C-alpha cells in the first residue's frame, strides 16, 4: 500500500485493502491522502481530508498538540462571514503539557519534548458515519493548526486567525491586563486599548487622559484642554477647598503651564500644581496668612519642578513651567504667580470695570514697565511672549509675586494660562466672554472660556479656573494695608 494512502475509509473508517477505489461498506470514493506538511511552514494550505486515525492521534511528523480546554469559543464560520459558536474540544485530556499566558497568546508552560505521547486512537466505528462528522473531517475537524504554537487543533470551519477554544474571546481580559481592559477604543468602540495608548483592534491612537480635564467642587471649577494644534496637554491645574480654624472655608485654585521648549513640560506643570496645592492646604488650616501661604506654596512648587531635572547637568533642558494661583478666604483674595499665566477680577456687576491682577514675567511686560515701548507695540513684537520668570532648575532667579486684595463687591476670579488670554487679553475682553452667571455656574463658565479659545484657533493648551467671590460682610477682617495698596496699584485694566 502506498505510504500516503489512508488505511481506512475517510467517511466511515472501514478498513481498506490494496487497490480499493471505493469503500466496500459505505461506497464513498477513496483518494490518496496528501503527505504530511512540514511543521515550520505555516503558510501552506491544510489538507482537505484526514483519516480517523490522524484525527485522534495527530498528524505524523509533528510534536504532540498541547491540551486545549473544553468549552465553546467564538470562531468564524466556513465562509468567514461572522462568528459562530465552536463545539467543545473533543478530548480535553489529550497531551499533558500545561498551558499559560505568555505575552500575546497561549503557549505551553514546558518544552514540547517533555509532553508524553498521546493515547492510542479509539477504535473506528463500524457503522455508517454521521454526515455532520463527515463534514467536520472535510473542513478540518481536529486537524493540526499551523497558526498555533506546536500545532494545536482547530475548530470546524475556523479561519487561520479565528480564536480556538482555549483562547480568550476578543474583548476579554488576559491575565495581568485587567486595567487596560477597562478602556475601549473611541474609534471602533470594540477593541481594547493597550498600555501604549493604541487600540489593539484598529490601531487608533487614543486621547490621553490629560487631553481634556474638568473638575468642579461647587465653589470652584476648572477646565483644561489640549487645544487644536498641540500633540499633548502640557497644562495642569489643582482646585480644592479646606476648612479654616474659625469655621470658614478657603477655596484654592492653581494653574500651571509647561514650558514647551523645556523637557517634560507636562510633568513639570503637574508636579508644580500638586505641590502648590498641597502646601496651601497644609498652611491655611493652621492659620497662616494667605499671602504667606501662597509664597510658601510657590517655593514648594519650584522645588518639585527642580527635582525633575536630569542628574547630569546640561544633558537636556531642565523641566520648567509657569504658575498662577488664587486663594479666596476670610473676605480676602490672594493671588501669586511666576511667569505669564494670569489672574483676572470680573465683578458680578458688569457696570464695574474688571481688572487684571497679575503682571507677566515676559519680555513685552519688561519693555512696557521700562518705558521703552508702548503696550501695543511690545505685544506685537515676535519676542513678546518670551518669559523672563519660571519654575525650574535653570531659572535665573526665583521671584514669587504675591498680592492680597479686599474686593468690596461680589465677583469671580479667572485664573488662566496664555492659551486663553491670547484670545481675550484685556480684562474688558475677558469680562465680555465670561457668562453673566459665572458666580453660580463656575464649571459652565470655564467651559465657555475654553470654548472661546478653541473657536479662536486653539493654537495652545487652554486651562482656566473660575473662583466665585462672595461680597464680604462690612465688619470682616481687614487685609494687610501695604500689600493691598501695592497690589491694587500695579495691575492694569
- Note the pLDDT tens digit of each residue in 64-76: 444 444 444 333 3
Instruction: Check: CB of residue 304 under 8 Å from CB of residue 258.
Output: no
**Rounded Cα distance, 487 and 332, in Å:** 13
Query: Which pLDDT belongs to residue 57?
Result: 44
Range with lowest mean pLDDT among 13-17, 168-172, 216-220: 168-172
More confident residue, 183 or 47: 183
Range with lowest mean pLDDT among 157-171, 208-222, 276-290: 157-171
- What is the pTM (predicted TM-score) of this model? 0.60
Average pLDDT over residues 127-146: 43
| Residue 315 phi, psi (nearest 5) | -65, -35
**Rounded Cα distance, 253 and 220, in Å:** 8
Query: Which pLDDT belongs to residue 396?
Result: 82
pLDDT, tens digit (0-9, with 9 covering 90-100), for 429-459: 999 999 999 999 999 999 999 999 999 999 9
| In the predicted structure, residue 319 carries a pLDDT above the cut 90 | yes
Instruction: For the chain, give the mean pLDDT.
Output: 74
Query: Which pLDDT belongs to residue 184?
Result: 80
**Rounded Cα distance, 450 and 454, in Å:** 6
**Rounded Cα distance, 303 and 271, in Å:** 9
pLDDT, tens digit (0-9, with 9 covering 90-100), for 325-379: 999 998 999 999 999 999 999 999 999 999 999 999 999 999 998 999 998 898 8
Query: Which pLDDT belongs to residue 306?
Result: 95
Query: Which pLDDT belongs to residue 122?
Result: 52
DSSP helix/strand/coil, 339: coil
Query: Which pLDDT belongs to residue 147?
Result: 39
DSSP helix/strand/coil, 369: helix
Query: Which pLDDT belongs to residue 48?
Result: 44
**Rounded Cα distance, 127 and 300, in Å:** 86
Amino acid at each position: 500500500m502506498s505510504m500516503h494512502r489512508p488505511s481506512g475509509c475517510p467517511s466511515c473508517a472501514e478498513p481498506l485493502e490494496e487497490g480499493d477505489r471505493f469503500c466496500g461498506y459505505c461506497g464513498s470514493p477513496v483518494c490518496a491522502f496528501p503527505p504530511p506538511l512540514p511543521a515550520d511552514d505555516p503558510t501552506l494550505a491544510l489538507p482537505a481530508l484526514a483519516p480517523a486515525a490522524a484525527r485522534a492521534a495527530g498528524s505524523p511528523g509533528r510534536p504532540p498538540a498541547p491540551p486545549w480546554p473544553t468549552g465553546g469559543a467564538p470562531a468564524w464560520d466556513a465562509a468567514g462571514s461572522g462568528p459562530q459558536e465552536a463545539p467543545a474540544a473533543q478530548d480535553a485530556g489529550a497531551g499533558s503539557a500545561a498551558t499559560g499566558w505568555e505575552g500575546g497568546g497561549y503557549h505551553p508552560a514546558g518544552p514540547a519534548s517533555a509532553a508524553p505521547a498521546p493515547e492510542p486512537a479509539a477504535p473506528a466505528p463500524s457503522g455508517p458515519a454521521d454526515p455532520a462528522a463527515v463534514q467536520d473531517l472535510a473542513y478540518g475537524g481536529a486537524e493540526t493548526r499551523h497558526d498555533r504554537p506546536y500545532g494545536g487543533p482547530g475548530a470546524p470551519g475556523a479561519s487561520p486567525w479565528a480564536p480556538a477554544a482555549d483562547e480568550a474571546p476578543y474583548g476579554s481580559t488576559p491575565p495581568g491586563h485587567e486595567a487596560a481592559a477597562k478602556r475601549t477604543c473611541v474609534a471602533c468602540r470594540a477593541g481594547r486599548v493597550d498600555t501604549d495608548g493604541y487600540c489593539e483592534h484598529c490601531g487608533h491612537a487614543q486621547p490621553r487622559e490629560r487631553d481634556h480635564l474638568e473638575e468642579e467642587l461647587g465653589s470652584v471649577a476648572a477646565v483644561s484642554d489640549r487645544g487644536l494644534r498641540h500633540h499633548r496637554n502640557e497644562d495642569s491645574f489643582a482646585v480644592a477647598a479646606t476648612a479654616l480654624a474659625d469655621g470658614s472655608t478657603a477655596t484654592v485654585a492653581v494653574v500651571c503651564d509647561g514650558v514647551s521648549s523645556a523637557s517634560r513640560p507636562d510633568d513639570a506643570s503637574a508636579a508644580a500644581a500638586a505641590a502648590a496645592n498641597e502646601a496651601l492646604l497644609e498652611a491655611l488650616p493652621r492659620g497662616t496668612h494667605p499671602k504667606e501661604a501662597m509664597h510658601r506654596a510657590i517655593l514648594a512648587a519650584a522645588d518639585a519642578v527642580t527635582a525633575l531635572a536630569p542628574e547630569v547637568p546640561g544633558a537636556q533642558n531642565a523641566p520648567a513651567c509657569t504658575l498662577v494661583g488664587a486663594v479666596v478666604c476670610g473676605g480676602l483674595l490672594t493671588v501669586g504667580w511666576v511667569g505669564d499665566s494670569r489672574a483676572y477680577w470680573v465683578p458680578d456687576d458688569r457696570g464695574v470695570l474688571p481688572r487684571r491682577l497679575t503682571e507677566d514675567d515676559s519680555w513685552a511686560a519688561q519693555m512696557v514697565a521700562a518705558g521703552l515701548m508702548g503696550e501695543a507695540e511690545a505685544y506685537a513684537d515676535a519676542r513678546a511672549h518670551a518669559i523672563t520668570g519660571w519654575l525650574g532648575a535653570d531659572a535665573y532667579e526665583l521671584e514669587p509675586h504675591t498680592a492680597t486684595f479686599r474686593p468690596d463687591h461680589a465677583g469671580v476670579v479667572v485664573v488662566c494660562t496664555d492659551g486663553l488670554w491670547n484670545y481675550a487679553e484685556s480684562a474688558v475682553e475677558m469680562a465680555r466672554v465670561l457668562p453673566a452667571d459665572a458666580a453660580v455656574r463656575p464649571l459652565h463658565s470655564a467651559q465657555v472660556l475654553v470654548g472661546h479659545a478653541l473657536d479662536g484657533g486653539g493654537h495652545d493648551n487652554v486651562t482656566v479656573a473660575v473662583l466665585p467671590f462672595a461680597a464680604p460682610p462690612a465688619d470682616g477682617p481687614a487685609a494687610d494695608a501695604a500689600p493691598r495698596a501695592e497690589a491694587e496699584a500695579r495691575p492694569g485694566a
